[in-house]
A and B are shown apart, each in its own frame.
Chain A
């Protein structure tokens, strides 16, 4: 059953296809613009820490909050655009629902922006209980509530979209297990090499994000109840676990959603198909659980945490990089090796993303080691860890896909501006992450608006690096804005 469904692509009407393309472009442009703004925010924060810019402390925390929530949101919406674009070729997805999610997302963004810049909410995007309720006058209860409501609204939008994806996958493959390729993995049916990797990745993202957002829906409402009824004091550790489960799964899933661009595009540029295999299924099956269970590596200093969870957090963090990376990284290398690939910005970015993803594991694993975490916990090492992943892993996938969609594949030569953009971004992104890591290794704390004199040099180098990232992204985005809106579907 699954093989017949897989080998045949879904047919849509021309108007549906046109509408879908516009929707995907809207997601990408929206996401990239938010990314750019957030990079500027990050640049401003680094400059403030480097004493080159005066920012009032409360404004700093508002910027930090918007930077966190903005990047997570942009990553969510842009990566969803990537996944949806490819997934709709295999299962019948609804344009309407895709747009509905986009509009709900924008509504949530407005609420969140209002809560931060009008209401003054600056309790970080993780809204860690009970911080939103004890602002000591920095923001009102209403602002904290609107922030959490905004997240709830966005979560609901994504849930609607995932329900549609789930419905479509169930309609096409009968069960999520079949879509993940489990019957093939366990030998119930013969291995089908043409089973689309995008469907496997899409199903994995669907499962983890659905559960993550469900947990978010519970914990956000409990936070709201506490805001208005302080008598209700939920267990803070349970709240933290749920919040991190929700947030960590959501941001992790963006990279697994975007990797479909690698699966789909590298074969097109090399002329070699991406074949699924038992190893591939096993890796993705393992990652379903690992993505959901690794978050405790952010809770290692919470001593009341059950020991087994921390041990699990460490072991799984060690393991979580391996399955998909080995499969995807190795697969990507094999596809590219001696294929006579033409290096365009698209392929360079996709290849960079493989490097970023692979190398990003190293800081993650180091941070997840209990003994190291004792020293590195809540230092700049942590931002180093996720900036590495996002700047060098996730964003190259998304921007690479944008370039592909903008029609770069049809041009013979790489433009000079694109080259400047690529190298500025590459160097800037790498440097940004490394400065964070180096600061972390020197015990510079994270989330501090004002830095001690000894740390200022780090922040200043970080500011320069951030400027490079902004420059590269600006060039990418200008290019996307100019050629993306009119570009025809390259596939």
Chain B
């Protein structure tokens, strides 16, 4: 019983830890940790909250979210918003952007958790591929742009992030290839 409660509170605890000002400053001081640690963590926290949502809530949301379409639309909007360099700069400079980030990203995680399993497998494939392509495009962009995208971050930071994105994208592609080429049944008829 105790263990169960603990598990449910875990994401909230993690959220508070991330929201602690020293932690915030530490993770946001570099573009790399901001985009590859803090933001994904916030989304994962949302995902975990989504997992532990009471069944009756989920039942109420379900008719508004058939095939997971609504949730995915929300996810894409939120993700697109936080991909704007302006928004990221805003989150560093202005407190209200930061609050917005700490709310919308977990919401995105929840939406993703509720919607992804409902989504048509083809749509999932398209989105995963688009996600991969975005990693590669952004990585390339960050490496090649002569100027900084974010006023709060160094050019060298942007370059490192670009390399990491390309690396991550390649790893993602390779693992996918291996699974599909040689994997056992991963998709049911």
Contact = CB atoms under 8 A, between A and B. Distances in A.
Contacts of B133: 214, 217-218, 221
Interface residues of A, number: 27
Interface string A164-177: 10110011101111
Contacts of A97: 122
A222 B162 CA distance: 14
B146 A222 contact: no
Interface in B153-189: 173, 180-189
Contacts of A160: 122, 125-126
B145 interface: yes
B139 to A, nearest CB: 10
Interface string A146-168: 00000000001001100110110
Given A160-B122, A221-B137, A231 B184 contact: no
Interface residues of B, number: 27
B129 interface: yes
A176 B186 CA distance: 12
A225 B185 contact: no
B147 interface: yes
Contacts of A163: 121-122, 125-126, 129
B140 A234 contact: yes
B183 A175 contact: yes
A275 B128 CA distance: 37
A342 interface: no
Contact of A175 (B140, B145, B182, B188): B182
B122 A218 contact: no
Contacts of B126: 156, 159-160, 163
Contacts of A228: none
Contact of A231 (B146, B181, B187): B146
Contact of B185 (A164, A171, A214): A171
Contacts of A170: 180, 185-187
A217 B187 CA distance: 25
A289 interface: no
B144 A233 contact: yes
B83 to A, nearest CB: 13
Contact of B181 (A175, A214, A225, A233): A175
A454 interface: no
Given A214-B133, A217-B133, A218-B137, 11 more contacts: A159-B125, A160-B125, A170-B187, A174-B184, A175-B180, A177-B181, A217-B130, A222-B137, A231-B147, A233-B146, A234-B144
Interface of B: 121-122, 125-126, 129-130, 132-133, 136-137, 140-141, 144-147, 173, 180-189
